[in-house]
Structure 1
Amino acid sequence: MEQNRPNHKLIYYFSKWTDISEEAEKIILSAFEPQFIKKKKDLLVVNDVCNYLYFITDGCMRSYYVDEKGGEHIFQIRMDNNWISDLESFFSNRPSHYYIEALENTHYLRISKERLEQLYIEVPSLERYFRILFQKAYVNSLKRLNATMWEPASDRYNEMLKEHPEMFQRVPLVYIASYLGITPESLSRIRKKK
């Protein structure tokens, strides 16, 4: 399988969780729209409804909100072969509280809620894939919330370094600090101790 073509990266990840026939592959590929966004451009802005799920084939994005004092708080940082979206807005059809911004020139695939529902009917095995994906997203959100409340910042940093070392080469440290829920100064102190 040609993993270097963006659509085939998506098929590769689906096939890790479920069997994809040649016919199903064609249906899936026709359901996702290839897109491109330049670095520093917004994919989603606050108060717009998030109408799509996005699969990043090559690039990096972040989702964040801005508090009443103008401070940015990063909720997600996603790179190649990962999903990003505002699932609350996507499923409820309500305005988003988040921005989604490209941190690099990014190629991605997108699918609307309506098309996703149709895809479940056309390729029933994908429903299992997305159920697992959404369960993992929920568990990861809870895990991150708990870590922010109970784990020392140095432990959160070490976990991120272990799980996503490439992030430190591609994402500005100020954004990593925000994602970890600490100040850039605190992150700098933690890094100096290593």
Structure 2
Amino acid sequence: MNPKPLLDYIARYIALTVEEQHLLLANINQRRYLKGQYVVQQGDICQFESFVLSGCLKSFYVDPDGHEHIAMFAIENWWVADLGSFIKQKPADYNVLCLETTELIQIHHEKLEELYQKIPSLERFFRIIIQNAFVASQDRIVQSMSVPAKERYLAFRKKYPLIEQRVPQYMIASYLGITKEFLSKIRSQLIHEQ
């Protein structure tokens, strides 16, 4: 296992002693998923908070009519889970699917609760990243309600250039809440404007 990316990421927010690092590492697992494998499926209880070492995933909801709505993508050094399911240990609303062969470091819900008792600063770390995720989610809601699709796409490209290169356009359209045809039209307009 190569825990360095995880430890480096955590060090951006909190300082762990060597003993705390060893305790954390003793309570995590590394797992490899193949392209097309689910990390979480809608209806199951999300047991793990997952840190992406390599790969690309999507988190999405399938509505009663069978339409897919992408909530987020996750690439290296991002966290991914159905957070509501993980925190409340209730059935997941979202699927998490690997778009590429993916390596994850995973922390089981029970182990994380135990680690909070033994490493109090770890609870602060997760509070900070959950707060950041909440703010990003709020920003995305405001954008989807008030910003035209073309501007949302340009903002997506600017904010996530590595994701745009790794996922199909129809998935980006789903993430933006538009049809793939409309995204194609926007892309065509942008090419002609250059």
TM norm structure 2: 0.94
Asked if 1:189 corresponds to 2:185, the answer is yes
1:101 aligns with 97
Q: Quick one: which amino acid aligns to residue 2 of structure 2?
A: P
* SS of match in other structure, 2:122: helix
Aligned counterparts of 2:135 and 2:180: Cα–Cα separation in 1: 27
Match of 1:32 among 11, 28, 31: 28
Q: Secondary structure at the match of 1:107?
A: strand
How many aligned positions are there?
Answer: 190
Instruction: Say which of 109, 132, 140 aligns to 2:136.
Output: 140
Distance in 2 separating the partners of 1:38 and 1:185: 29
Report deviation, 1:43: 1.2
Aligned to 2:8: 12
- The share of aligned pairs that are identical, in percent, is 38
Distance 2:36 2:112 in 1: 28
- Residue of structure 2 equivalent to 1:57: 53
The residue correspondences of 1:166-181 to structure 2 (distance < 5 A) are 166-181=162-177
Give, in whole Å, the separation in 2 of the partners of 1:186 and 1:155: 13
RMSD between aligned alpha carbons? Answer: 1.2
* Structure 1 residues not aligned, in runs of 5+: none
Greater alpha carbon shift after TM alignment, 102-111 vs 39-48? 39-48
> Does 176-185 or 18-27 show the bigger shift?
18-27
Task: Note the alpha carbon deviations across 1:105-143, whole angstroms, 9 max, x for none.
Answer: 000011122111111222221111111111111111111
Partner of 2:110: 114
Give the structure 2 partner of residue 48 of structure 1.
44
Does residue 153 (structure 1) correspond to residue 153 (structure 2)? The answer is: no
Partners in 2 of 1:91 and 1:168 — Cα distance? 30
Q: TM-score, normalised by structure 1?
A: 0.94
Partners of 2:121 and 2:62 in 1: how far apart? Answer: 38
Secondary structure in 2 aligned to 1:17?
coil
Report the Cα distance in structure 1 between the residues aligned to 2:98 and 2:188, rounded to whole angstroms.
29
Q: Determine helix, strand or coil for the equivalent of 1:129.
A: helix
1:125: which partner in 2? 121
Q: Shift in Å at residue 6 of structure 1?
A: 3.3
How far off its partner does 1:77 sit?
A: 0.5
Q: CA, structure 1 residues 16+186, in 2 after alignment: closer, same or farther (shift >3 Å)?
A: same
* Secondary structure, counterpart of 2:72 in structure 1: strand
- The CA distance in 1 between the partners of 2:140 and 2:2, in whole Å, is 29
Provide the C-alpha distance between the structure 1 equivalents of 2:87 and 2:18, rounded to a whole number of angstroms.
Answer: 29
Unaligned runs of 5+ residues in structure 2 are: none
